[in-house]
Amino acid sequence: MNSAGQPARRVLQRLRAARRRVALVTAPESPRGKRVTLVSLVVLTAGITALSTLAGVQITPTLALTVPVVLGGFLLDRPALQALLVVVAVAFVVEVADLGWTDVRPGSAVVLALMGVISVELARDRERLGLSMGRGESMLLELSEQLRRQGELPPLPQGWAADVAQRSAGGSTFGGDFMVSTLTDNGRRLELALVDVSGKGVDAGTRALLLSGALGGLLGAVPAKQFLDAANDYLLRQQWDEGFATALHLTIDLETGDYRLTNAGHPPAAHYAGGSGRWQVVEQDGTILGLVPDVTFPVAEGRLARFDALLLYTDGLVEVPGRDLELGIDRLLGAAERLIPRGFEHGAEALITAVAQQASDDRAVVLLWRT
């Protein structure tokens, strides 16, 4: 059986190797692939012209010739695109001459010229980033997925549960709110940071990704009392134009329920006491990260008893222009009280839907409770 299967396996290996060689040769970013793409678009342009002039097919020159121009903007580098545009211009003149100059509107040339300018700008942007066709979009998706993975909580021990939800401004795939977390002391202690980077939506997404990687590396690697100090130093070194962020840092002993909250200009957390059935705001007023060095961040300590919960959130849930922030917090806690009869499971998403479904800012909620 093994000897009989060896020839088939060798054939499959050769086919795979041949497929890889063809992919390398014909890839749009390879030298031969670029030549093949340019020749294909020139042939397409010539075919459109032939259909219009020789076969008598009535095609609007602008409508047809914009197809190779747009494709060239996505597939070719600028030198090859410029060569293609020369060919398209010649084809346009040939078609116009065949149709008759009086039958062609000047707007046709204007539209075709505009499409050429747009294609050149597309090619320039791709060259500046060093990306081939479609790589920009795929990189955004990869960054979004990485930011989402970094925001996942580690598995918690029995007796603890958590829920996290995030929504970005404008429906984009990622924004400026993120969370990083880790378990330390052999799984006994949970440490997490909820961060809101300046800006919103895609504009803040790249800064959030860089900052989440840095803070994720600091989390658990530096003493908890020094975490926000280190984060502040990191942001100051970046010298970003909008290089500030708010953050709420939490460490909690998963055996005793004792927690420590440090606030850097972030909306205050809320503590739910299962015994009384009430939410209580943990009042803190800290300095925003990335503004001034050597600052002291306020600390609050407490304990989560059985059936207690902690609510952490970003300002997208409570901040409305022209309205007092405390009103937004009261509204959020009112929605949190309505979760109590049914429990906190899937409560983070429910809170966003209840108080900030159509907000124009990024939103994030973390719910942590003892079962």
Say whether both 119 and 163 belong to one domain: no
At residue 268, the pLDDT reads: 94
Residue count of the chain, please give it: 371
User: 250 and 155, same structural domain?
Assistant: yes
Residue 345: the pLDDT is 92
Contact residues for 245 (Cβ-Cβ < 8 A; gap 6+): 195, 196, 197, 198, 211, 235, 264, 288, 289, 290
Distance CA 343, CA 307 (A): 10
- Please give the residue that has the higher pLDDT: either 254 or 76: 254
Q: Is 90 exceeded by the pLDDT of residue 110? A: no
Q: In which domain, by residue range, is 174 found?
A: 140-370
More confident site: 171 or 241: 241
pLDDT band at 182 (very low <50, low <70, confident <90, very high): very high
Q: What tokens does 186 get?
A: 């052999």
Closest CA to 65 of 44, 80, 81: 44
Give the count of domains, the chain: 2
- Of the candidates 104, 133, 162, which is a domain's last residue? 133
* Residue 208: pLDDT over 60: yes
Overall average pLDDT of the 120-138 stretch: 64
- pTM comes to 0.67
The average pLDDT across 182-188 equals: 91
Predicted confidence (pLDDT) at residue 20 exceeds the cutoff of 60? no
**CATH (domain of 206):** 3.60.40.10
Give the domain-ending residue among 88, 113, 133.
133
301 and 173 within one domain: yes
CA atoms of 16 and 344, how far apart (whole Å):
52
* Alpha carbon distance 343, 163 (integer Å): 11
Region label for 159, one of left (φ > 0), alpha (ψ between -120 and 50) or beta (otherwise): left
pLDDT in tens, 70-107: 888 877 878 888 888 898 888 888 877 776 655 556 66
Please tell me the predicted confidence (pLDDT) of residue 170: 65
108 and 160 within one domain: no
The residue with tokens 């086919």 is: 15
Find all residues with CB under 8 Å of 224, minimum gap 6, and list them: 191, 249, 251, 260
Among 71, 105, 133, residue at a domain's last position? 133
Please give the Cα distance from 124 to 78 (Å, whole number).
7
Tens-place pLDDT, residues 356-370: 877 778 889 999 999
Distances (CA, A) of 325 to 198, 236, 330: 18, 27, 9
Query: Do both 222 and 281 map to the same domain?
Result: yes
* Tens-digit pLDDT profile for residues 287-333: 999 888 989 999 999 999 999 999 999 988 888 766 778 888 999 99
What pLDDT, on a 0 to 100 scale, did the predictor assign at position 65? Answer: 83
Indicate if 91 and 197 belong to the same structural domain. Answer: no
What confidence score (pLDDT) does residue 178 get? Answer: 87
Report residue 174 as tokens: 């990622």
For residue 338, what pLDDT is reported? Answer: 93
Phi, psi of 45, rounded to the nearest 5 degrees: -65, -45
Residue 136 has pLDDT above 90, yes or no: no
Taking 80 as the threshold, does the pLDDT of residue 263 lie above it? yes
- Asked if the model's pLDDT at residue 59 lies above 90, the reply is no
179 and 279 in one domain?
yes
Residues 120 and 252 in one domain: no
Residue 161 and residue 87 share a domain: no
pLDDT band at 2 (very low <50, low <70, confident <90, very high): very low
One domain for residues 290 and 246: yes
Please give the mean pLDDT across all residues of the chain: 81
Does pLDDT of 159 surpass 60?
Answer: yes
Per the model's pLDDT, the better-predicted residue between 130 and 194 turns out to be 194
The answer on 273 and 166 residing in a single domain is yes
Q: What is the pLDDT of residue 78?
A: 81
pLDDT above 80 (res 6): no
334 and 208 within one domain = yes
